[in-house]
């Protein structure tokens, strides 16, 4: 009787603990079998949410788009099971469409066999892709558990049933959409890394980093060599998932001619595709590529193939005697060959190029020019002009109070000039991402929200300064407090926003250097501020201890002011130089991405 009682106590503790903390991070492997959240209440009976799919039939290796939608919900748990035995283990694996709101879980021995939430953030719609396994049952049903609130949830909401047709052989496993991929010619194996010896002489090359060796484990390489009426193409880079490049009429994804080399069970499948906006590539049913070869060794993926300069029989293929922007992307692929969205911005050439024209050896950029300009202006504004302007206003009033510029005290004119420059730079920089994106970005997390808050405070600060009361007015102290608190809040939010922006895919400064550099700048500014505060305090104490003699006090005050003025000017000069060093470092990093 002891052991069962102890087991019950343990079970009650686990459920009680789970009911207190819940599963806000979505790691609900404990519910793999029952799909029941341990929330201490009974499930609802009439579901409000629905599961839909984009097809009713499948073959092993196919992928099916699965949608879970309905009123706002916090958590979810999706599986596919044998429709004839719903208590059996999960069937097949999933691929994510949105990594912010969903994550993959492993139930039992099947990797990625379930999908759950990543946080308690409210959501209305979840999209995932289900990959049918080779040993899939004849009929598969999708099930979902949905948590609307902590004690309001539905368990095993039944979804559509998809079934296998009576076929003798399955289609190949590589699918970016439901269209099958075929290769017209057998592929051979590449014996050694590519060479850059003919770049700029006999072939057109793109390398990242610039002038890197294609044989190294960090070099992305793409080359085009015209041979009569065809072009021989080589592509390699550090990836164990996929490499892809595309010809584009502009610097935006959509309507592009794409070529993919995808790792499927340690074999590389090479195919052509068409990019339709920002969605999965549409693989072609017929392949126009010849002389296909590949190699996968030491984490470097290589593939090569030949295609005609003109392919009138293939409407989606571009003519290669015209100039195009060229994209080069890499990313992960599932075991079945379904490609994930690339984690970082694709490499894009700085202008349109004709790969059959004059051979060139060029680089590219993973950050669009408008985003680079956005980062440059923001760094310039909040690392230099704001920081120096704050130091001047806080510590240089007594130093420059007898110096005037255009009828105003020098410290005030310098402070005002630097702050107005900040407003101008921030306003210009604020507009650039909207111009680039054509609207609001849904992929940038909290960065745009905080950026809007910084922009609002930046505009509000000079407007408030325009209504500044006179020096001896009763409301002057209240104004000073609001002016200081608004400026300080804007600076803190700006630093947090820059921290978040540095790692966004559109800029993605090198890790962990960018974080250390920003921490260094914050420490540099705080250290300078503390040093000047300590100096001011010591200066006041020095004057206070002088004996009570009027002439002696006046002489000592004059001497102390001179000493304080020299020290502060030296500190300011060093501080400005340090800020310039941080700014130059960030600008160099931005120019290299």
Over the chain, what is the mean pLDDT? 83
Among 18-27, 137-146, 342-351, the minimum mean pLDDT is found in 18-27
Distances in Å between the Cα of 99 and the Cα atoms of 96, 116, 303, 357, 588 are 6, 11, 29, 41, 31
Output the DSSP codes for 250-272.
SSSSSSEEEEEEEEETTEEEEEE
Instruction: State how far the Cα of 181 lies from the Cα of 172, in Å rounded to an integer.
Output: 7
| pLDDT tens digits for range 282-300 | 777 667 899 999 988 878 8
Give the pLDDT of residue 187. 66
Q: How far apart are CA 452 and CA 432, in angstroms?
A: 13
Q: Which residues on neighbouring strands pair with residue 117, listed in sequence order?
A: 102
Evaluate if residue 98 carries a pLDDT over 90: no
Q: Where do the structural domains in the chain lie, given as residue ranges?
A: 1-164, 188-365, 369-592
Cα 338–chain centre separation: 21
Q: Is 159 helix (H, G, I), strand (E, B) or coil?
A: strand
Categorize the per-residue pLDDT at 385 as very low, low, confident or very high, splitting at 50, 70 and 90.
Answer: very high
For 141-156, letters b (16+ CB in 10 Å) and e give bbbbbbbbebeebbbb
The number of helices, as runs of H, and strands, as runs of E, in the chain is 8, 24
What share of the chain in percent tops pLDDT 70?
A: 85
Contact partners, residue 202, CB within 8 Å, separation at least 6: 225, 359
Of 265, 309, 307, which Cα lies nearest the Cα of 287? 307
The rounded distance, in Å, linking the Cα atoms of 114 and 89 is 11
Give 421: exposed, middle or buried? Use CB within 10 Å, 0-12, 13-18, 19+: middle
Strand partners, 127: 67
The pLDDT value given to residue 28: 65
Top-level CATH class of 188-365?
mainly beta
| CA dist., res. 487 & res. 480, Å (int) | 11
Q: Cβ atoms within 10 A of the Cβ of 71, count?
A: 10
Same topology, domains 1-164 and 188-365? Answer is yes
- What average pLDDT score do residues 21-47 get? 71
| HSE-up (13 A, CA, CB side) for residue 153 | 22
Question: Residue 179 has what pLDDT?
Answer: 37
Comparing C-alpha atoms, which of 195, 197, 201, 198 is closest to residue 359? 201
User: Percent helix, strand, coil in the chain (nearest 5)?
Assistant: 35, 30, 40
Q: Give per-residue burial for 276-295: e unless 16+ CB within 10 Å, then b.
A: eeeebbbbbeebbbeebbbb
Statement: 1-164 belongs to CATH 3.40.50.920? no
For residue 31, give the DSSP letter: G
- Region 133-146 average pLDDT: 92
- Comparing 80 with 267, the larger pLDDT belongs to 80
Lowest-confidence segment of 260-264, 418-422, 468-472, 505-509 by average pLDDT: 505-509
CB neighbour list of residue 353: distance below 8 Å, 6 or more residues apart: 204, 323, 324, 325, 326, 360, 362
- Of residues 207 and 108, more confidently modeled: 207
E strand or H helix at 399, and its extent?
none
Contacts of 475 (CB under 8 A, 6+ apart): 469
500 phi, psi to nearest 5 deg: -70, -35
| Nearest to 319, CA basis, from 328, 308, 327, 333 | 308
pLDDT at 264 over 80: yes
Instruction: Band the pLDDT of 486: cuts 50, 70, 90.
Output: very high
Average pLDDT of 52-64?
A: 89
Tokens of 240: 């164990």
Q: How would residue 558 be classed by pLDDT, with cut points 50, 70 and 90?
A: low
Q: What are the backbone angles phi and psi of residue 104, rounded to the nearest 5°?
A: -90, 145
Phi-psi region of 22 (alpha: psi -120 to 50; beta: other; left: phi over 0): left
Q: How far apart are alpha carbons 430 and 433 in whole angstroms? A: 7
Task: Indicate yes or no: pTM above 0.75.
Answer: no
Local confidence band at 309 (pLDDT 50, 70, 90 cut-offs) = very high
Cβ contact 257:329 at 8 Å: no
So what's the pLDDT on residue 9?
43
Give the pLDDT of residue 543.
60
Residue 507 has pLDDT above 50, yes or no: yes
Lowest mean pLDDT among 36-50, 182-196, 391-405, 542-556: 542-556
């Amino acid at each position: 009787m002891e052991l069962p009682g102890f087991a019950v106590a343990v079970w009650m503790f686990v459920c009680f603990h789970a009911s207190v903390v819940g599963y806000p991070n979505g790691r609900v492997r404990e519910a793999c079998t029952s799909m029941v959240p341990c929330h201490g209440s009974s499930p609802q009976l009439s579901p409000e949410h629905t599961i839909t799919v984009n097809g009713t039939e499948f073959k092993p290796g196919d992928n099916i788009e699965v949608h879970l939608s309905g009123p706002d919900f916090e958590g979810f748990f999706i599986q596919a099971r044998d429709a004839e035995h719903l208590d059996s283990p999960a069937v097949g694996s999933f691929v994510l469409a949105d990594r912010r709101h969903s994550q993959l879980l492993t139930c039992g021995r099947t990797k990625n066999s379930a999908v759950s939430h990543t946080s308690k953030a409210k959501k209305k719609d979840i999209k995932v892709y289900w990959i049918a396994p080779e040993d899939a049952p004849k009929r598969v049903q999708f099930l979902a558990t949905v948590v609307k609130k902590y004690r309001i949830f539905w368990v095993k909401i039944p979804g559509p049933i998809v079934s296998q047709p009576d076929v003798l052989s399955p289609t190949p496993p590589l699918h970016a959409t439901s269209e099958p991929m075929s290769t017209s010619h057998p592929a051979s194996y590449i014996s050694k890394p590519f060479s850059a010896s003919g770049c700029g002489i006999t072939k057109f090359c793109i390398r990242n980093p610039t002038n890197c060796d294609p044989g190294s484990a960090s070099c992305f390489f793409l080359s085009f060599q015209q041979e009569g009426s065809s072009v021989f193409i080589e592509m390699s880079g550090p990836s164990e998932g996929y490499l892809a490049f595309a010809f584009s009429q502009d610097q935006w994804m959509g309507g592009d001619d794409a070529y993919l080399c995808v790792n499927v069970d340690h074999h590389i499948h090479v195919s052509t595709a068409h990019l339709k906006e920002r969605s999965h590539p549409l693989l072609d049913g017929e392949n126009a590529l010849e002389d296909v070869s590949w190699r996968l060794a030491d984490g470097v993926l290589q593939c090569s193939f030949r295609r005609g300069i003109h392919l009138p029989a293939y409407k989606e293929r571009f003519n290669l005697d015209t100039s195009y922007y060229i994209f080069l992307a890499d990313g992960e692929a599932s075991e079945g060959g379904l490609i994930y969205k690339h984690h970082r911005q694709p490499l894009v050439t700085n202008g349109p190029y004709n790969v059959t024209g004059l051979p060139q050896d060029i680089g590219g950029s993973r950050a669009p020019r408008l985003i680079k300009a956005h980062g440059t202006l923001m760094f310039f504004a909040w690392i230099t002009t704001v920081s120096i302007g704050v130091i001047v206003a806080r510590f240089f009033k007594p130093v420059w109070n007898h110096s005037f510029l255009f009828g105003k005290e020098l410290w005030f004119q310098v402070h005002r000039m630097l702050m107005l420059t900040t407003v101008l730079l921030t306003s210009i920089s604020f507009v650039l991402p909207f111009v680039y994106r054509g609207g609001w970005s849904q992929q940038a997390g909290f960065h745009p929200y905080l950026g809007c808050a910084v922009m609002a405070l930046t505009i509000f600060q000079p407007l408030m300064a325009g209504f500044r009361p006179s020096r001896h007015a009763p409301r002057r102290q209240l104004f000073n407090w609001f002016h200081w608190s608004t400026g300080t809040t804007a600076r803190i939010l700006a630093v947090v926003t820059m921290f978040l922006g540095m790692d966004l895919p559109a800029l993605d400064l090198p890790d962990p250097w960018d974080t250390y550099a920003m921490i260094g700048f914050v420490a540099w500014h705080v250290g300078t501020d503390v040093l000047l505060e300590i100096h001011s305090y010591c200066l006041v104490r020095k004057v206070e201890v002088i004996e009570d003699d009027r002439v002696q006090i006046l002489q000592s005050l004059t001497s102390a002011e001179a000493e304080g003025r020299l020290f502060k000017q030296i500190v300011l000069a060093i501080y400005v130089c340090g800020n310039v060093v941080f700014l130059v470092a960030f600008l160099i990093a931005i120019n290299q991405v």
